[in-house]
Amino acid sequence: MQEEIELRALIEAVRAGKLPRRGFIQQLVGLGLTAPMASMLLMHAGVAQAQGAAVYKPTKRGGGGTLKVLWWQGATLLQPHFANGTKDQEGSRIFYEPLASWDNDGNLVAILAAEIPSRDNGGLSADGKSVTWKLKKGVTWHDGQPFTADDCIFTWEYARDPATAAVTIGVFKDVKVDKIDSHTIKVTYAKATPFWATAFCAAEGMVIPKHLFAPYIGAKSREAPNNLKPVGTGPYKFVDFKPGDMVRGEINNNYHMANRPYFDAIEMKGGGDATSAARAVLQTGEFDYAWNLQVEDEILKRMEASGKGKALIVPSGDIEFMQLNPTDPYTEVDGERASIKSKHFAFSDPAVRQAMALLADRQGIQEFIYGRTGVATANFLNAPSKVRSPNTKFEFNVDKASQILEAAGWKKGADGVREKGGKKLKLVHQTSINGTRQKEQAIIKQACQKAGIDLELKSITGSVFFSSDVANPDTYGKFWCDIQMYTTTMTQPDAERFMDQYLTEEISSKANKWQGRNISRWHSDDYDKAFKAAEIELDPVKRAALFIRMNDLVIQSGFVVPLISRPRVRGVATKLATTLTGWDLDFSGLQHWFREA
């Protein structure tokens, strides 16, 4: 207890600026911790390492040549309201913009808005039920048409229409948007809304042009030519797109921010894997930037030694986790696989779920794979610190898992695989192709094998796994297997939009073209009630307690097994100055990127 009190005191000293970050790390190293672990302790306490935006130095627009960025999961579409994966959101963000984005300190920064709404400027109502946005004037779409309030109104109408089947419907369906004048809109909520910065903000708030998409609202939404040929307001104009491979843009000489962008063009290359992406920036210098370097830390360190680039670690709420399917992914019910009307033969047994949690060697995955780039966790919700549950814990224990399965009637057969009622514990575990993830799979498979569970490991190309392709059976939205593993990103410094992933109304299904955010398909009435209460709770302490309750319900269900709390790891060329945040897309500050002289 005394050690815990002293640790908290040290963290508060860093937070208050009384103790240098380096001094904190040195003290904890003296107590036997590694420097990366000490740094991650600060991250989990909400004390972020300074990764702030470099002071923008260019004094004119353009002249920077081509910015070459590498997304080893290539974008498959460029329509932000169909972007089911981060890769498609990022590809869209090159061209489209929201009214505001998040910086690394969790503050809203105006993009298409003239200012951030507040009580002082009259933008926020006292009852928490409305927000008035003043829009920036003089902004034009890439085809020269003016950006106005009509585009915001249309974006709302488009996304909230169920027939459109937008992944952003959850953000827009329960609000009302009115046009006050040509450059002012009012967003009204049916109830008090403590976290109002959802509609028109960040990754899911990108505004699309009415004059191009109006003919394709609703049932015709997938037919719009501009789903693949974006016309936005962003720093770069569309040039070319090869799904899964390359997105090309050229400088927008009419961009609404002075002296920006610096680069004359951008090339977003897709494909490959995280390790080759890291090598292309850190070792060979072929690219300027690489996204999502889910690579063993020791490999990253060796690559950094070349001096051509560095790994940037940005604190975030992202989580690598496993989903155990509560439904039957192999049998159709009413013409639908993995229907919520069905039950999984194994995971409907709480003993099997409990055993799987015990067979996930989280600490081993952290120590042998992630190092400074991830922390083992028992929580799905890990940040900000005020909403991280103190009530959970994890354990790796093969013997205990075996005993639980044995007691539940799952007996080992001659082949060493447990079975019950004629059903063997032979399960398919799928994830995206990624060297790190395949090693995670191998660690989990080995433990399961010892306990009598046979895992078939399946790896799917990231551009397929994370796509919204209705015809493809291997997308993670369909979840047509027993177990799947991936990282879900937290794009706001508030838990509401992150935790809607377990709402009953968000279940991914055939009816919503598998675009629902509840991909796990686990749901509960208690969870729904807690979420609805949090949506209107204006007291921040009570609201945080509700999110902790939601996290605990998810963990107690056993259908979700958190593995690693992941800061964002990116590869950046030595002279590239970026503006990165753990609460928004990488390209949320793309207009501010430049190359140091």
Number of domains, the chain:
3
How distant, in Å, are the alpha carbons of 126, 222, 401 from that of 118?
10, 37, 53
Beta partners for 565? 319, 375
Domain match, 14 and 129 both? no
Name the pairing type of β-strands 236-242 and 246-251: antiparallel
Domain match, 43 and 84 both? no
Name the pairing type of β-strands 265-270 and 246-251: antiparallel
pLDDT of 15 above 60: no
Q: What span, in angstroms and rounded, lies between the C-alpha atoms of 462 and 451? A: 30
pLDDT of residue 59: 95
- Phi-psi map region of 472: left, alpha, beta (phi>0 left; psi -120 to 50 alpha): beta
Q: What span, in angstroms and rounded, lies between the C-alpha atoms of 186 and 184? A: 7
pLDDT of residue 435: 87
Domain match, 167 and 227 both? yes
* pLDDT, mean of residues 6-26: 57
Per-residue confidence band for 336, with pLDDT thresholds at 50, 70 and 90? very high
**Tokens representing 236?**
């770069």
Domain match, 337 and 262 both? no
Residue 73 located in a structural domain:
yes
Residue 37 located in a structural domain:
yes
| pTM value surpassing 0.75 | no
Domain match, 25 and 55 both? yes
Query: Contact, 555 vs 224, CB < 8 A?
Result: no
Domain match, 402 and 440 both? yes
Domain match, 241 and 134 both? yes
Per-residue confidence band for 24, with pLDDT thresholds at 50, 70 and 90? low
Give residue 320's domain range: 315-491+559-567
Q: End of a domain among 217, 252, 271?
A: 271
pLDDT of 20 above 70: no
pLDDT of 56 above 50: yes
Q: What is the percent of the chain with per-residue pLDDT over 70, rounded to a whole number?
A: 91
What phi and psi, each to the nearest 5 degrees, are found at residue 73? -105, 105
The CATH number of whichever domain residue 249 belongs to comes to 3.40.190.10
Q: End of a domain among 43, 60, 77?
A: 60
pLDDT in tens, 229-278: 999 999 999 999 999 999 999 999 999 999 999 999 999 999 889 999 99
Domain match, 118 and 174 both? yes
Q: What span, in angstroms and rounded, lies between the C-alpha atoms of 168 and 158? A: 10
Residue 377 located in a structural domain:
yes
Name the pairing type of β-strands 418-420 and 246-251: unpaired
Q: End of a domain among 40, 60, 80?
A: 60
The CATH number of whichever domain residue 479 belongs to comes to 3.10.105.10
Query: Contact, 194 vs 128, CB < 8 A?
Result: yes
Domain match, 230 and 198 both? yes
Per-residue confidence band for 55, with pLDDT thresholds at 50, 70 and 90? confident
Mean pLDDT of the chain: 91
pLDDT of 588 above 60: yes
Residue 544 located in a structural domain:
no
pLDDT of residue 28: 55
Domain match, 37 and 166 both? no
Helix axes 21-30 and 35-44, enclosed angle (nearest 10): 120
Residue 446 located in a structural domain:
yes
If we measure between CA atoms, which residue out of 533, 537, 528 comes closest to residue 506?
528
Domain match, 204 and 320 both? no
Per-residue confidence band for 43, with pLDDT thresholds at 50, 70 and 90? very low
Name the pairing type of β-strands 560-573 and 375-376: antiparallel
Domain match, 53 and 72 both? no
Q: What span, in angstroms and rounded, lies between the C-alpha atoms of 327 and 330? A: 9
* pLDDT, mean of residues 140-153: 98
Residue 486 located in a structural domain:
yes
Place of tokens 């992941």: 566
Per-residue confidence band for 47, with pLDDT thresholds at 50, 70 and 90? very low
DSSP letter string over 323-338? EE-SS-SSSEETTEET
* pLDDT, mean of residues 442-459: 98
pLDDT in tens, 468-508: 888 999 999 999 999 999 999 988 889 998 999 999 999 99
* pLDDT, mean of residues 295-305: 93
pLDDT in tens, 193-230: 988 999 999 999 999 999 999 999 999 999 999 999 99
Question: What is the distance of C-alpha 175 from the center of its chain?
Answer: 23
* pLDDT, mean of residues 269-296: 94
**Tokens representing 509?**
């299904």
By mean pLDDT, which of 15-24, 179-188, 502-511 is the weakest? 15-24
**Tokens representing 205?**
């708030």
Higher pLDDT, 461 or 35: 461
pLDDT of 29 above 70: no
pLDDT of residue 19: 56
pLDDT of residue 52: 46
The alpha-carbon radius of gyration of the chain (Å, integer) is 24
pLDDT in tens, 555-586: 999 999 999 999 999 999 999 999 999 889 99
Residue 97 located in a structural domain:
yes
Sign of CA dihedral 110, 491, 462, 331: negative
Residue 423 located in a structural domain:
yes
Per-residue confidence band for 385, with pLDDT thresholds at 50, 70 and 90? confident
Question: What is the distance of C-alpha 554 from the center of its chain?
Answer: 18
Per-residue confidence band for 104, with pLDDT thresholds at 50, 70 and 90? confident
* pLDDT, mean of residues 65-85: 93
Higher pLDDT, 52 or 531: 531
